[in-house]
Amino acid sequence: MVQIGYTLMSEQTPARELVDYAAAAERIGFDYAVISDHYFPWVEEMGHSPYCWSVLGAAAQVTERLPLMTYVTCPIMRYHPAVVAQKAATMGVLSQGRFTLGLGAGENLNEHVIGEGWPPVDTRHRMFAEAVQIIRKLFSGEYVTHQGEFFDVDSAKLYDLPERPVPIGIAASGGQSAELAAEYGDVLVINDPMPEVVQQFNASGGDGKPVYGQLALAYDTDAEAAKQRAHELWRWSSVGGWKVMAELPGPVNFAAAAGTVRPEDVAQSVPCGSDVDAVVQGVKEFADAGYTHVALVQIGHDQQQPFFDWAEKELLPALRNL
């Protein structure tokens, strides 16, 4: 059975409400929760982007059983991998083993803020592989000294560690990253249903490990209002795939790139309205592609409570039959 998660969408939600939503997600029966780790929202209309690690610490205290996960953190620029390892280990302790560290090679949108430029994609992948290895070593609890191509670590040691090492999820979008995820990760993360990447992951040694995806939807009893809201807040997702999205530096650039995207274009991939079957079909597509976990993203902060009510009474019971 596919595990159904809830996405704490930090780009559209104030920090305090994100903590409340984590508690609500546990209460109504979601299996886990993930949170994005952004410095900027995708487009200005989203209006928020709090520091996800503060939110995670608070969420760990208002929940008891709900697994938590970053979706995903970039450990190559804005954060040094040694700092990411410490943050993740502390979250493992605070959550009593309920935390998974989701990692990815990042995007210009969030990483350019430190003023170091944005490396070419091949360089980013090499940086990412080195960063993951450093984090793995630090999770052992031993002293780590590292002099690498991109990162140095001088006699670092983590003193607060959970009983079991924090699982690492690695985001992938193609064969090379799927192989990296199989070698260094405990979990594969892919936003969209991509069976070929799952197959590559399994063939490279990842068979039997969890595979996480994410499905955006816009719940509303008024389907047309849902479509308009999805367009306003989610049109950036149609700008041309990850190779384009990873390079754009700011919300204004995403808005410009999505200038010709129409509401009906967004609605092709985002269920809009209150049709349970449309969401079930979307999740089934992930399940058929080999995914074990799918996190739902409710687009629109003002419709979160109605979404929770609908999810508890109608959506989650229907998804349990998959």
Active site residues: 38, 107
Residue 165 to residue 162: CA distance in whole angstroms? 6
Residue 201 to residue 113: CA distance in whole angstroms? 32
Please list, in sequence order, all residues whose beta carbon lies within 8 angstroms of the beta carbon of residue 158, skipping any fewer than 6 positions away: 85, 86, 89, 138, 139, 141
H helices of 144-273, where? 175-184, 195-201, 223-234, 242-245, 251-257, 263-267
* Per-residue CA distances from 314 to 29, 299, 309 (Å): 12, 18, 8
Helix, strand and coil percent figures for the chain, each rounded to 5: 50, 15, 35
Residues facing 101 on adjacent strands: 168
Structure token digits, residue 188: 């594969």
Residue 159 to residue 136: CA distance in whole angstroms? 15
Nearest C-alpha neighbor of 29 from the set 283, 316, 280: 316
Residue 315 to residue 213: CA distance in whole angstroms? 18
Q: Which residue has the tokens 């995708």?
A: 42
Residue 128 to residue 60: CA distance in whole angstroms? 27
* Residue-by-residue DSSP string for 264-291: HHHHTTS-EES-HHHHHHHHHHHHHTT-
